[in-house]
Structure formats: C-alpha cells, structure tokens
A and B are shown apart, each in its own frame.
Chain A
Amino acid sequence: MSKYTEDDLKVELENKEYEYGFYTELDSETFPIGLNEEIVRAISMKKGEPEWMTNWRIEAFRAWQEMTEPEWANVHYEKPDFQAISYYSAPKKADPNKTLDDVDPELLAMYKKLGISIDEQKKMNNVAMDIVVDSVSVATTFKKTLNEKGIIFCSISDAIKEHPELVRKYLGTVVPQRDNFYAALNSAVFSDGSFCYIPKGVRCPMELSTYFRINQAGTGQFERTLLIADKGSYVSYLEGCTAPSRDENQLHAAVVELIALDDAEIKYSTVQNWFPGNKEGKGGVYNFVTKRGICEKNAKISWTQVETGSAVTWKYPSCILKGDNSVGEFYSIAVTNNFQQADTGTKMIHLGKNTKSTIISKGISAGKSQNSYRGLVRISANADNARNFSQCDSLLMGNNCGAHTFPYIESKNTSAKIEHEATTSKIGEDQVFYCNQRGIPTEKAIALIVNGFSKDVLNKLPMEFAVEAQKLLEISLEGSVG
C-alpha cells in the first residue's frame, strides 16, 4: 500500500459521496411555489384543520412577514428565497388506514436503503415508529400498545383533529409563534410532525421514535413536534433524520416543544443526517431548528443530539428550568466535514431554585468546515443555588477547518455555581501510526479515536440508537472513517 498521509485522508474525506444520496420516485401532490395567506389557508384546509388552527397559522404568518432573517450566527449561506419554495407535498398513495403490508413498495425499498426497514423495526418490539415522508405520516405502528397505557403518539395533524384540547392548551407555549423568524415560518406552514402525550404517572414502556425524510425536490419541510409529559411521567423519544441528495438547497425549519410537568422526565435524542452538500459545498439542507423544553417542579429534560448532516445548521435545543429543583441536560456531538457549517449549542435558563444544568458538547471538524458551539447559561435573580457545568471539547482533523466556542454566561444571583471547561485537540499522526502498528488501518483508527472522543455523549443515547449513531459518525467522516 502506498504512503497514507493526513493529506490523502483529507482527499478521501472530500471525495466521500453522501451515502444516503438517492432519490425515490414517488407520485406526489405538490402545491405551487410561493407563500401568501392563501397558501397558508390552503395548507390548513388540505389537512382538514379546525378554524382555530387556521387562525393560529395566519397569526404566525402575519408575524413572520414583519420579521427579518437572523444574521448573528457564525454561518454564511445564500438566504433561501421563500417565494421559490413549495410549502406542501404529500405522497399521493399514502393512506393512513392501510396496514404496513400495504405501504407503497417504493417507500419500503427506500427505508431498506436507509437501513430502517419497517419490517425490521416491527421485530424490534421496543421501538414504535411514526415515519414521516414529505410531510405526511404514512405508517404508524404500536399504537395499540401505547393506547392501553393512555399514551397518545400520533401525527400532529391527527392530534389537532382528535385531541384539540391538548394541542390548543400547549401548542406555542414553549416556542411562541413570533419567537424567531424560522419558528414563525414553521408555525404558519408546518405540514406535519409528531405529537405525544404521556398521562400522569405513566412510564412509557418503549422508546418512541420518528424518522423524518425530505424527499420531494424543492420542497421545504416544516415539522412540528409537541411532546407533553404529564405529572410524574417518563418518556424517551428518539428522532432520526436522513435526506436524499439534492442539487438545490433545501430548507428545514422544524419546531420542537417539550413540556415536562411536575416530576416528569423527558429524554429527547436526535440523530441528524440531512444531506450535507457535496464536496464543493454545493447543495445540502439548511437546518434551522428551534427546540425548547420547559421543566416544571422537579422535572427533568435531557437533550442528546448527534449532528452529522446539513450544509448549514442553526440549532440550540434549550431548557427553561422554571420549576424548583428542575434539571436540564444537553449532550451533543456535532460533526462537520467539507464545507459544512454548524452553529449549535444550547440555552439553559434557570428560573427556579436549586435548578441544575449540564452541558457536554463535542465538536468534530474536518475538511473546510466550521463548527461553532454557542451556549447561554442564564441564572435569574430568583434562582437560588442554581448550578451549571459546561464542557466543550473540539476535535480538529486537518488544517483547513475551524472550531469556535461562544459561551455566554449571565448570572443575576450570587449563590450560583457555574463551571465551564473547554479543550481543543487534533488527531495526531502519531496516534494514527500507533493504531496502524497494532494492525488497525487508518480509517478504523480515526473511527476509534472519534468514538473515544465522543464517548461521553454516545453513552447518553439509548442502546439501539447509540449503535446507529456510531455508524453515522463513521459514515460522515468516511473516506476517513470506515
């Protein structure tokens, strides 16, 4: 074998094609491009929504029209033309009454390519799937088991029709319509997403899981997720995303709202693998997401995310620690390669007394990518004895990438204890040679080093997800990581 240097490695990295870059031909019904009040109404009507929902969307749309796109993030991209996007696309053949066996064989084939065949998932009886392809939920499983416990797990469209009292009570309470530019846009045009309600004192017996896909060329996707854990309940929710390869940029502006009532616990895990663009930095998904949770008394919310995809990521899963003794956690691995840009982190807003938050962020940059951690820890005047621990580690591969850390700390209470640690390291040729000498090829060596670096966060993921996440890390650094 010829000499294999870090430079060769970089070349391989750049040449790595997007593993999931395929496109499935589905016969879809797509709205004309452009956005105005009529389109918003049409989306609402198409989905058979009640009037209050239509009005809620219109309110959001009007707010959005007054807003401008934020520019403070450490990312540079060509702003999307919001009038060149189609805001609704549904696979025509989808029918919620079909059983899994009736699902469009092309869809099933697509899932198989992604390694998430429903057949397989059905056998893994601990995971219930609500699969979203282009806006409309096409297959839902395990509904029955969940029903017995009183757990509601369905598409947000169904929830609006079947559980309007819950949706009305909580929708927009954590992320208001006018929270930010993209949240407002999402509120106006969200096509589908997931809804989950765990009743008082119920421990959800399985991991809830949703896969999102962007499939139709030129369609933005705007998911809306609303998750409510009633008093004393527990739920672990998994969200995984992959997207097919596309030339034009695709916008993904999701909103996730978590509500953890007194003594409840929510674990929310994400593996994100949207198409990152090709090696020249062309194409790729813009991922502008607003994720936020609110904790009432003694409640706990954990965000765990593995971010490997998207051309541009702008995402800060946050916790509002409103109740006394509530706990917020954020564990993140963000990988950027080629020309990817990620500006991601969290906000921990301490309002209640004895509130605690932990932030562990691992950034891995390769190619010509830029990876930024941006975090805010705010301790309000009433939050006596609040504590925060933050750790931000960056791993660099090669000399053309960047890692940045922007930690913001605002404390208005002198009893607060806040710790922040940060490290930056580079994969050394000596480390790789050491592994080589033990018979471990370079790709595998880098996978090993990266996994070791990410271990603290990978350990926080549920078992079945951790394996997948590990695979994803390898794929996204591939060429390099085998």
Chain B
Amino acid sequence: MARYAMVIDLRKCVGCQACTVACDKEWDVPLGFARTRVQSTGIVGAFPKLASGFRVAQCNQCDRPSCVAACPTGATRQSADGIVRIDRGVCIGCGFCVEACPYDARYINPAINQADKCDFCAARLERGLQPACVTTCTAHAKYFGNLEDSNSEVFRMVYEKGARRLQTARVAIGPNVYYLGKKQDVDLVFAKFPPRAPRMAASSEFWSRLLKPLVLAAVGATFLGQAVAFFHQLATGESKQQNQEKT
C-alpha cells in the first residue's frame, strides 16, 4: 500500500501561485478560499542580511489527523494510503474539523455547505495523474510520491536529503508535506508559520465533554431503575405484584 507524501523544495519555489491557480481551476474552489496557497514570510532581517521565503500551505494528510477525531459523523476519514478524505454524503458542515486543523487547511465550502480541503487530488491519482499543483509548478519545486517506495523521489528527499515536517513539540501530528532547503531558509519559514494548537468548537466541546456524559448517565440511570423494577417483577410474580399495588 502506498503512503503518499509531498515534498516542497523551498530553494526552487518562487511564490508564483501557479499551484494555487491550478488547484482553483481543478476543483472549482470558491472565491475567497483555497485548498493550497503560497504564503510569503515577507522580508526579514536588516540590510544587508535580508532574507525571505515562501511556504506552500495545504492539507498535510497527517498521520494522526486531529480533524478525523473532531468529526462527529465520520465524514472525515483517513484511507490506508494516508489521504484524509471527506465523504460528501456524510459531511453536515458543522465546522468542527475546521477548528481542529492546526494548519488551517480546511474551510466550509459555501457552494456545498460542507468542509473542503486538499486531498492530494485523489481523483487524479485514481486516473494515474499527479496532483494538479505538482504538474503545474513552474519551478518543479513540488514532488509527489509514495513514501513507502524506496525508489521514489519523495523517499530520497525525506530519508536521504533530510526534508522536514512543519511541526512543533506541542503540535506533532505527523504532517506528510515535507519541506526541503537550506536550514536557515526552512527555519525562517517554520518560525513564521508554526501550526497553531488544535481547537475545539465551543459546541463540540460542550457536546462531547458535557452533554454526552449527561445523556449517557441519564439513560443509564433509567435503564438501571427499570432493571431493578423488572427483577422485582420477576421475583414477585405478576399477579401477586398487582394485588400488592392495589392495597
């Protein structure tokens, strides 16, 4: 089985947003949203020691995705190939996953009122194509492949050339988008765009932490009460119990 990953060579990325446009066209991403986007660090440092860099942001198809754990209906699931997919028939658009993603890779698509995000162009992969952003990248900065295949480019970049995951000690959920480049350039990008802590929507927290235990306790207590009454009924016998009740 494949374990898909993407590697972005920050030395090559020129921030042209061709990937953003390709993705936009491929998936009809509504205005104001993006499945992938290029973020600039801006110019940092003091002359003459200036630096800048780009980060290509998209869904990381994490090993331990916080969005899957946040989804109440099971619409967001991770396939065996590592791709986190949204089941269009099951998503109710509650937005819990949008809050949960530390990379802000998700959004509620207003055209379908459901969560949406990059899925490594899963539909293209099925047809034997590469993701749209990879084929479009003007500088060939994006690499896509199977991390379990030792002959793949991504394997070599991750395990031999030291491509790095954008994660912190606090948020380490195993993103499968890797960044390659000079250490100080990657450090600059990582420092500028660290993952935020996963959040729970207030309603989600209220539901899973308070309402769920309350409901389970209430239903459980009723069930126990009934069980006691039922065993009493068994032990006493119906006609005898009826006589007792009447007096």
Physical interaction between A and B: no
Chain B residues at the A interface, C-beta cutoff of 8 Å: none
